[in-house]
Amino acid sequence: MQPDIEVPVLVVGGSLVGMSSAMLLGHYGVRSMVVEHHRGTAIHPRAAQITQRTMEIFRTVGVEQIVRRKSAEQFVQDGAIMGVETLAGKEVAYYIANLNEGIRDLSPCERVFISQSLLEPLLKQRAEELGADLRFATEMTSFEQDGSGVTAQIRHRDTGETATVHAQYMIAADGAHSRVRERLGIRMRGHGAFSNSITIYFRANVEPLLRGRNLSVIYVINPVLRGFFRIEIPFTSGFLAITALGDPEHPNTDVSAGLTDQRCLDLLHAALGVDDLPVQIEDVMRWQSEANTAERFREGNIFLAGDAAHVMPPHGGFGGNTGVQDAQNLAWKLAWMLNGGFASPNFLDTYDAERRPVCEFTVEQAYSRYVTRTAPYLAAKGFQPVAHDMNVELGYGYDGKLHEHPNESKARPGTRAPHLWLSDGHSTLDLLGSEFVFLAGPQWAGEEAFRIHRITHPEFPAAYGISPGGAVLVRPDGFVAWRGEGTPPPRT
């Protein structure tokens, strides 16, 4: 049967990761169609901490500046990530004193806070500009795959209108409860689910309780509850996420059971540390704290990305960021296949081979932060040592080493090409594009098989681990494919 719609890539789910996928596919020159169940972009704020790496990815597609501007309207910049008994009361720990202190030289970009409800419309606009066909209020109801790709049925929720879509590839960015993953029989592995958590969205003037402190994330640890606050400018609204109640040694982790408005008010007051502050509850979201990774990220021409592939506690703010990195790793590879760069379908196996170990590591790191920051009762069951935030956020690698400090990798193949400010005010990362790019030292004398930038900056050879006669070949996702002297490898 002839499909109604033919498209190179169908993306199921148009939230943070689906929208990023569409935007990046457009950037790499691939047309995509996104189907999203909801009638618009995110309604709940959720993800807010955006890492330098995600901002670097946004920079390549031209949305970094607008994201920064919107972020500054919504949250304080360079705030602390810290722990308190209550917002009004005793401070327990400062995990990060200033969001960008000591990390500015690692990247042309900064860490920011922006909620998904503000970020997703920006990504949507850019995805559309880059040619994506976005269908909201539209559900994918079924799919089949054969040698030619994937055939899916979609249905408009309001009109009931249905259509058949044929795509060469499908990205399942359909979230933690991914029905695509379930249908494919792909299991999740890890620590399982360990809390029925809630997020309470509220309005209250908390400015006096902040006492002039510049805070981005405030973990609350007291005998009533464990969770965290995020407060928005002008400090009259925010959310409290709660993952456990009662005795910290023997907690009740079924937070969402028996929830009433009064119970939410009591919990908020217990976290704020004042009983008499007028508080208005706007919404309550129920979600599960889990730490799991899919046992495989690919089935034929279907790829899992974002929460469909890995679910982690929000401690560390890695979840959405990891999904954007999936989207980038996958988007350029699909583009390379579709645009005739590589012939071998095995090439696409590198998505699972590269991303899954990094995602497993990131999930473990989020779990370790969950245990050490708010759930010490889980410590006895074991957890990985907490790695430096920069190893997780910028220093993840595809060369088997998984992570290291980004200053250490020195453009080793499989690691992210390092940032260095050049004399014209651009970063080395700004020289990378949607194709492979050659960054060469001043004395390099090899053949020019790729687009080449000769870099005369005196610190370039040391930052990239080469002699002045050396060069590196960088992939479209900013990871190093080859480093050496002389002639580059053949283009296969």
Residues in contact with ligand FAD by the rule CB under 6 A: 12-13, 15-18, 35-38, 46-49, 139-140, 173-176, 179, 199, 241, 287, 306-307, 314, 317-321, 323
User: Which residue matches tokens 């810290």?
Assistant: 82
Nearer to ligand FAD, 241 or 439 (CB): 241
Task: Tell me which residue has its CB nearest to ligand FAD.
Answer: 306
Q: Which structure tokens are listed for 387?
A: 């790695």
Inter-CA distances, 51 with 112, 265, 269, 469, Å: 7, 32, 31, 34
Nearer to ligand FAD, 28 or 318 (CB): 318
Residue 58: Cβ within 10 Å count: 25
Q: Which structure tokens are listed for 25?
A: 């596919």
Shortest spacing between CB 365 and ligand FAD, in angstroms: 13
Shortest spacing between CB 64 and ligand FAD, in angstroms: 16
366 sits in which H/E element: helix 349-374
Inter-CA distances, 325 with 50, 114, 122, Å: 12, 17, 18
Nearer to ligand FAD, 78 or 430 (CB): 78
Pairing label, strands 80-84, 91-96: antiparallel
Nearer to ligand FAD, 53 or 475 (CB): 53
Distance in Å from the first CA to the final CA of the chain: 36
Burial of 449 (0-12, 13-18, 19+ CB in 10 A): middle
User: Which residue matches tokens 């998904």?
Assistant: 116
Nearer to ligand FAD, 40 or 62 (CB): 40
Shortest spacing between CB 315 and ligand FAD, in angstroms: 9
Nearest to 175 by CA among 297, 17, 367: 17
Nearer to ligand FAD, 55 or 241 (CB): 241
Pairing label, strands 162-172, 302-304: parallel
Q: Which structure tokens are listed for 274?
A: 């004042």
Shortest spacing between CB 248 and ligand FAD, in angstroms: 20
Shortest spacing between CB 257 and ligand FAD, in angstroms: 18
Nearer to ligand FAD, 125 or 412 (CB): 125
User: Which residue matches tokens 């049925």?
Assistant: 153
Contact indicator for 101, 88 with CB cutoff of 8 Å: no
Shortest spacing between CB 281 and ligand FAD, in angstroms: 16
Could you give the maximum distance between any two Cα atoms of the chain, in Å? 73
**3-state SS, residue 298:** strand
Sequence-separated (6 or more) residues with CB below 8 Å from residue 481? 413, 436, 473, 474, 475, 489
Instruction: Spell out where 36-148 has E strands.
Output: 49-50, 80-84, 91-96, 112-113, 133-135, 138-146
Q: Which structure tokens are listed for 385?
A: 């040592």
Nearer to ligand FAD, 140 or 358 (CB): 140
Nearer to ligand FAD, 17 or 206 (CB): 17
Shortest spacing between CB 96 and ligand FAD, in angstroms: 13
Shortest spacing between CB 12 and ligand FAD, in angstroms: 5
Shortest spacing between CB 360 and ligand FAD, in angstroms: 15
Shortest spacing between CB 90 and ligand FAD, in angstroms: 24
Nearer to ligand FAD, 165 or 472 (CB): 165
Which residues are 433's β-sheet partners?
none
Positive or negative, the Cα torsion across 146, 17, 285, 222? positive
